[in-house]
Structure formats: C-alpha cells, structure tokens
Amino acid sequence: MEIKSWIHAFRLRTLPLALSSIGMAGFLAAAAGKFSTLIFALCCLTTILLQILSNLANDYGDYVNGADHAERKGPKRTVQSGAIAVGQMKNAVILFSILCLASGIYLLLVAFGIDWNSLLFFFGLGLMCIAAAVAYTVGKKPYGYAGWGDISVLIFFGLVGVMGSLYLFTKEIDGFTILPALSCGVFSIAVLNINNIRVIESDKAAGKYSIPVRIGKENAVRYHWFLLVAGLSAAIVYASLNYQNLFQFLFLLTVPLFIRIGIAVAEKPSEALDPYLKQMALSTLLFVILFGTGNLLR
C-alpha cells in the first residue's frame, strides 16, 4: 500500500508536461545538427526528478499551510489522507533535492567538461530550479500562495527549460528560440491555470491567492484563452520567420485539442476540470512533437 501511495504522490501524470520543454530543446538541437543522446537522457532524468520533487513539496507544503483541507476539491493528497506521514514526506523532499543536485551536476559535467564559467552559471541555475520547486508551497511565505506561480512556470518550464537545455547541446544562444520557449511556458501556465480554477474555492478559503482567486473564475477563463492563443501565436511567428515548407506548421493540428480544452474550462464547473489537466499536458507534449518534427522535415 505504501508503494502505491508514493507512486500517487509522485503524480506521474504531470511528467509529460515536464518533458515537453526538454523535448522542444532536443528537437531544436537535432534541427541544428547538434543533438546528443546522453545529454538528452540526462536532461530528461534531471527534469523528471525536479518534477517529482515539486509534486512532493506541493503535497507537503499545501498540507502544512492548510490548503489541503477537508473541503478541497479533487483527488486527496497523500499527506492530507494520512497515507504518508508528514515527516516521511519532508524526508522525501530532502532526498529528491539531493538526487536533483547529483543528476544536474553530472549533466553539466557531460555537457561542459571542466569549463568553470559555464559550470558555475548553470550550477547556480540548477539551484534556483530546486529552490523554485520547493518554495512554491513550502516555507513561511511560499510564492505560490502569493500568485507568483505563473511567472515561475513561464521561467522554468519555458525559458530555462527550453533555452537553457538547448544551450547544453549547442553552446550557443539563438534569440529566435525564445518563441518556442514561450509556447512551452504559456501552455504550462495553462495547465496550472486549470488546476487553480479547479480548486479556486478551497484555495480562497486557505488564503492561497492564485491568479484565479485574485481575478475570479470568469476572468481566469479569459486568461486561459489568452494563454492558448499566445502559445500558438509564438509558434506561428517562429515558423513564419524560419519558413522553408508547410511541414513547419504541423503543430497546428493540435488547435482543435486546445479549443476543446478551452471550451471545457469555460463551460464546466470547477470541480469537473480534473481530467483536463492531463489533456492539456498531453496536448502540449503532442504540440512539441509536431512542432519538432516539422522543424526536422524543413
């Protein structure tokens, strides 16, 4: 039973979203002729560990800070339900922080060798990633409770996740890649937004001032449509600026999926939105696969 509880706490359904930014970086590196299987594998491992760390810290922090109370909508968390003790979850957060650090250091050594400037810069970036994963809901003033989660997701699932990972392959900065990075970032925010709309009432009661709590559900739905349009628009601009053939617009096949999710967010009651978290994450991953495939075929 305890193994099942830990697997539940890992929230494996969130992993496709975490891997989307790494997949985007991998495709862009392959299109530039600079793909490395080992670097890609280590990026995936480090990202998976970071996502699990974030999920465990979220489970722990929301319980400690009162967001996981009896009136919370959606699946019960493992600490909230008593399946995992608070102390055990705290130890797991520490363990996965160490695993993230170890995996990240090995990744940097493989990517840069003994290039101290690059190593130190990306080591600092890695520490920021770990701190962001934990501090979202853990601590006296978790930034997720102040409504800063969306900005953090844009930075770490978008700009750092794509452009930072791409640099590990290419050792170059291409300013145009900020566009697909923004696509990944805002689609990831859309997943967070669905979750925050889903628990808007319980978050409000717990003093967790997410964007939907601050602006209300109606405006949060408008915000969601903005995120979907912004993500697609950034990809369209990138494909247009680098146009060689129509394959580069393969990602537009995901538009009906995003529209369907947007309509559901607008029309369904908040407590019925849980399935659309997974759908938004998988649609984002499919978007990345089609976008990347189109770039390889150009």
Amino acid at 58: N
Query: Which pLDDT score, from 0 to 100, does residue 217 have?
Result: 94
Distance separating alpha carbons of residues 55 and 63, to the nearest angstrom: 12
Task: Compute CA distances 270 → 182, 219, 281, 283, whole Å.
Answer: 27, 14, 18, 20
Closest of 126, 2, 123, 136 to residue 56, by C-alpha:
136
Query: Which pLDDT score, from 0 to 100, does residue 284 have?
Result: 97
With a CB cutoff of 8 Å and minimum separation 6, the contacts of 165 are 21, 22, 25, 26, 43
Closest of 91, 129, 92 to residue 107, by C-alpha:
129
Domain extent for 36? 2-297
Query: Which pLDDT score, from 0 to 100, does residue 67 have?
Result: 57
Count Cα atoms within 13 angstroms, Cβ side, for 130. Answer: 21
Query: Which pLDDT score, from 0 to 100, does residue 76 have?
Result: 66
Query: Which pLDDT score, from 0 to 100, does residue 101 have?
Result: 96
For 90-128, write each residue's pLDDT tens digit: 999 999 999 999 999 999 999 999 889 999 999 999 999
Query: Which pLDDT score, from 0 to 100, does residue 273 have?
Result: 93
As for how many domains the chain has, the answer is 1
Distance separating alpha carbons of residues 69 and 57, to the nearest angstrom: 16
**Tokens, residue 77:** 């968390």
Distance separating alpha carbons of residues 163 and 159, to the nearest angstrom: 5
Tell me the pLDDT of the chain averaged across its residues: 91
Give me the residues of the chain with pLDDT under 50, please.
Answer: 1, 69-70
Query: Which pLDDT score, from 0 to 100, does residue 73 have?
Result: 53
Q: Is the dihedral of CA 29, 35, 36, 41 positive or negative?
A: positive
